[in-house]
Amino acid sequence: MNVLIIGLGSIAKKHIIALKRIDSDVKIYALRSRLDAENIDGIINIYNLNILNVEFDFAIISNPTNLHSEYIKHLSDKKINLFIEKPPVNSLEEVDYLMAKIEKKKIKTYVACNLRFHPCILFIKEFLIRNKSKIINEVNVYCGSYLPDWRPEKDFRTIYSANPEMGGGVHLDLFHELDYIHWLFGAPLSTQTIKKNVSSLDIKAIDYANYILEFENFTANVILNYYRRDPKRTMEILFEDETITIDLIKNRILNSKEEIIFEHKNFNMIDTYTNQMEFFIENLNSKQKQMNTFSESIEVLKICLNDEKISR
């Protein structure tokens, strides 16, 4: 298997671990922008796609989000299937053109939202299917952590997360929360949004986002931030008869009595990267319906980029 990687940052390295778990003989080529780029064991550095005589099974696009569009165009023209790191792009400006190109070239795509493979999210997905008659009154999602702790070896102000011109901002970085809400409950009827820069982090990017998503019978509230010192990543589902709390850090689900109804003690987040990569590779040669394609993910991006303000 030959795989091309565009962008060799921290997320790409997780995808590399996943690839090697799946196929120890995989050949991984990384497109580098500098001739003095570091050499990583087992990775073949390349500098010009146009002179390379390699047939790729697919490409991973994991460079800064503002560059995704450029490489989606370029690699689609070469008829290379695409595994695209979330969010798929950082604006809606060219999405119609990109979707048309992908369809015309018959490119298979997947946008990497690995939380869909988190055991707690999978449990809740099945729980909701099994309990369709349960009435939901409210859903609350919270994801907050401290940006300087994300990559402590780097000045956090220099990474793409902190810089809107590179596609950064908490609303784009924490795209997962909106993605799994959309996957679990479907498309909302309407959305309202507040996005702000409110913390003392001294960054230009949005560091707080609050989404209100209106569904037919309930409302979901999603809060995202970059400045919480004690990380928290939870979802509460308030049914008519009970509340279920999903803790994606502790990997467990509690009921109203704080009894554990599901727990995965041996879970490691890297497993979700392996599982989603396996899913994508298995579907490359399958005729079954794809999940989270580029066009599907754009529907979530439209919610993510919604600029409507909540009245106060």
- Find the helix or strand (DSSP H, E) in which 205 lies: none
Angle between helices 68-77 and 95-104 in degrees, nearest 10: 20
Domains defined along the chain, listed by start: 2-114 (3.40.50.720), 119-265 (3.30.360.10)
For 289-312, write each residue's pLDDT tens digit. Answer: 789 999 999 999 999 998 544 333
Bond before 87 cis per omega within 30 degrees? yes
For 207-266, write each residue's pLDDT tens digit. Answer: 999 999 999 999 999 999 999 999 999 999 999 999 999 999 999 999 999 999 999 988
Q: How far is the C-alpha of 117 from the C-alpha of 126, rounded, in Å?
A: 12
Q: What is the 3-state secondary structure (H, E, C) of 244-286?
A: EEEECCCCEEECCCCCEEEECCCCCCHHHHHHHHHHHHHHHCC
How confident is the model at residue 293, as a pLDDT? 97
How confident is the model at residue 34, as a pLDDT? 67
> Do residues 245 and 236 make contact, with C-beta atoms less than 8 angstroms apart?
yes
How confident is the model at residue 47, as a pLDDT? 87
% residues pLDDT > 70 (the chain) = 97
